[in-house]
Each structure stands twice: as C-alpha cells, then as structure tokens.
Amino acid sequence: MLTEAPAVAADAGKIAIGGKAPMFTTTGAKAGKAYKLSLANELKKGPVVLYFFPKAFTSGCTAEAHEFATRMAEFRKAGATVIGLSADGIDELKKFSTEACQSKFTVAQATPAMIQAYGVGLAGRPNMTGRTSLVVAPNGRVTFVHDDMDYRDHVKLTLGAVQSMARKKG
C-alpha cells in the first residue's frame, strides 16, 4: 500500500535525490518469517537502504544479497537498516531471507504500485524490478540513488552513503 506521491526525476521516471521517498507497507521476510513491513516505521530507527533486485536466487541477486549480509555489521554501525525489495512472492522471499540473506536483513515484496512509484520497473517487464539502490534519510528524503543492473557496486556505494551520513551526524 502506497501512502504518498513520489518525487521523480523528470527525465527518467526515477526517484530524485532530495525528493520524498514514497511511503509503503508491504510483506517482508527475515530469517524465514513473514511480517508486515512499513517504511515509515523503519525510518524511525534511522536511515534505510532500499535495494531493488530483479529475482531471488538468480546469480547476481544472490551475490548481492550475500555481500549485503557480509557487511551488515558496518551498515548497523552507521545506524542503517537494509531492506531488499523484489516482485517475488513471499514464499520465495522467506527462503531467500535465510539462504542468500543469511537471516541478517529483511527482503520484502515490491508491489506493482511500489515499482511504479519508485520508477524501478525492469525494461520490457514492468512488474519486475530492475536493480536500483536508494538511501532514505529518517526525514523521508532520498539522499542517494544508484541505478545499475550490475550488482557489484551497490553494497559498497550504499554503505559509503550511510557512513557519510553517520559522520555528518556525529
């Protein structure tokens, strides 16, 4: 469920840095257990990394999830929460949350409305997500966006963004 209109970049339909992130409630999974996930509630804890990925258990998506899991202590030290988002069904995401994510962070369902609001639809497959990572500050503003189907830099760049936020805060 989407609760607010997004700020999108005029040229690409993507969320713009400095714009408000669309708030949503969806079904998430962590350590194999499903639960109701609200972006607004997660932002109360600090910055949130939202990383959209195309398909659980594909090679790039699995490698990306493993890298996020490996670096979770660094994200936590920076005060950040990591949430992976995909159009996969919740049963698939429950398995992915334990296997690829090593039960260290949440993966959640990206609904068609969320995919459209964030401008992250996969070209030619609008109900699937491409690979886009965002950092959302506690005030709901997008502070960082990386849009690249190559998974390799997403973890490093989002970690750098939240570490920079933590340094400025401290």
pLDDT in tens, 49-95: 999 999 999 999 999 999 999 999 999 999 999 999 999 999 999 99
Does a structural domain hold residue 5?
A: no
Contact present, 107 and 131 (Cβ < 8 Å) = no
Whether residue 39 is contained in a domain is answered as yes
16 lies in some domain: no
> What pairing do the DSSP bridges indicate for beta strands 132-136 and 48-52?
antiparallel
17 within a domain of the structure (yes/no):
no
Q: Is 169 left (phi over 0), alpha (psi -120 to 50) or beta?
A: alpha
Q: With the C-alpha atoms ordered 154, 160, 164, 165, is the resulting torsion angle positive or negative? A: positive
Whole-number Cα distances in Å, 77 to 30, 74, 111, 157: 19, 5, 30, 16
Instruction: Report the C-alpha gap between 105 and 114 in whole angstroms.
Output: 20
Residue 129 lies in a domain: yes
Measure the CA–CA gap between 60 and 20, rounded to whole angstroms.
29
In a domain, 56, yes or no: yes
Six-digit token pair at 95?
Answer: 């398995």
The domain total for the chain is 1
Cα separation, 70 vs 44, whole angstroms: 24
pTM for the full predicted model: 0.91
CATH number at residue 98: 3.40.30.10
Helix (H) or strand (E) holding 70: helix 59-70
Classify residue 124: in a domain, yes or no.
yes
Cβ atoms of 52 and 135 closer than 8 Å: no
Domain-embedded: residue 29: yes
For 159, the domain range is 25-169
Positive/negative CA dihedral, 161, 40, 111, 61: positive
Task: Please identify every residue annotated as catalytic.
Answer: 61
Structure tokens at 9: 């970049």
| Average confidence (pLDDT) per 10 residues, the chain, 170 residues | 42 78 98 98 98 97 97 98 98 97 97 94 86 97 96 97 90
